[in-house]
Amino acid sequence: MRLGDLRRSETFPDLWTECDVTRPESLGKAMKGVGAVINLAAEHRDDVRPVSRYHEVNVEGARQVCLAADDADVEKIVFTSSVAVYGFQPKPVDEEGPFEPFNEYGKTKLEAEGVYRAWAAEDGARTLVIVRPTVVFGEGNRGNVYNLLHQIATGKFLMVGAGKNVKSMAYVGNVAAFLAHVLTMGPGVHIYNYVDGPDMDTASLVEHSRRCLGRGGKTPRIPKAVAMAGGHLLDVAARVSGRKFPISAIRVRKFCESTQFRAERAAQTGFVPPYTLAEGLARTIQSEFPAK
C-alpha cells in the first residue's frame, strides 16, 4: 500500500503519523521536527496491477523518503524490507544472501534497499537500519497467516501436500518491538533478518491452530500437483476476466515451499521478544476468532 501509517500502540504510544510515500508534500509534513523515520509502506500483494505500481511505491517511494529526510535533516531511517529479497532458498540464509527474488515485490524491495544504502553513504553521520522480516502475522493483519487461520476456523482449509515444509514466522508485536529497539543504533548501515523461532512445519502449524480454534477431526488433504494445476487454471481465468482469486499458482507454491531464515544477528543486539511464537498465535486467534 502507499500509506506509511504509524499508529498509536503499546510500542509507540505517543506517535500518529500518516503519509503517502508517493506524495512528497505529505512526507515533508510528517518528517518536520522528527529525529528518525520508520518506513513500513509497501506495495506487497502478489496480484497488484499494473505491475509498475511495485516500482512506483517501493522504489520511487524510497527515493522520496530519502529526499524528504534530506530536507528535514533527518539522519536516521529504519526501513522494513523483506525476506522476499532472498527468494526460494534450499536452506536457511542469513543477511548475506544469496539474493534471488522471484517476484516484483522482492525485486523492488531489494532495489529500495540500494536507494537507502546510497542515502546512508552520502554522510557518515547517518544511520540506516534495514529489517527483513519473514512472514508477519498478528491482530489486524490480513496476510497469509490470517487467511490460513480463517480457512481453518470456517472449515474450508485443505492441506496441500504432506505439510512437511518448514516456515519461519514473525509475530507483529515482536516486530514492532524490534523496530523500536533498533532506533538505538548508531551511525552506519545495520541489516537484520527478523524471525520468531522455533520454526514449525506447516502440518504442525495447522494442527496447533486447529487446537487453538477448537476444530476437531482430521485435516482434509489435496496433492500438490492437483493444487498447482488448479492454481494455473485460476491464473488464466484471472487474466481473462480481470478478477482476483484467493488461489493462484504462486500462492500454492509459496504455501508448499520451506522458507527458513537465520536471524542470529538480531538476537546478538540484546533484543528479547516480548512474546513467544505460540503466544503470538494464541493472541492472534483470540483476537480474530473469539470463542462464541
Residues designated catalytic:
105
User: DSSP labels for 11-64?
Assistant: SSTT--EEEETT-HHHHHHHHTT-S-EEE------TT-SSTHHHIIIIIHHHHH
Residue with cell 537465520: 262
DSSP letters, 97-163, are: B-----SHHHHHHHHHHHHHHHHHHT-TT-EEEEEEE-EEE-TT--SHHHHHHHHHHTT---EES--
| Distance separating alpha carbons of residues 247 and 104, to the nearest angstrom | 18
**Separation of alpha carbons 161 and 224, rounded Å:** 5
Whether 81 contacts 132, CB under 8 Å: yes
Q: How far is CA 205 from CA 102, 135, 235, 257, in A?
A: 25, 14, 27, 14
What does the buried/exposed string (b/e) look like for 189-213 if buried means 16 or more CB atoms within 10 Å of the residue's CB?
ebbbbbbbeebbebbebbbbbbebb
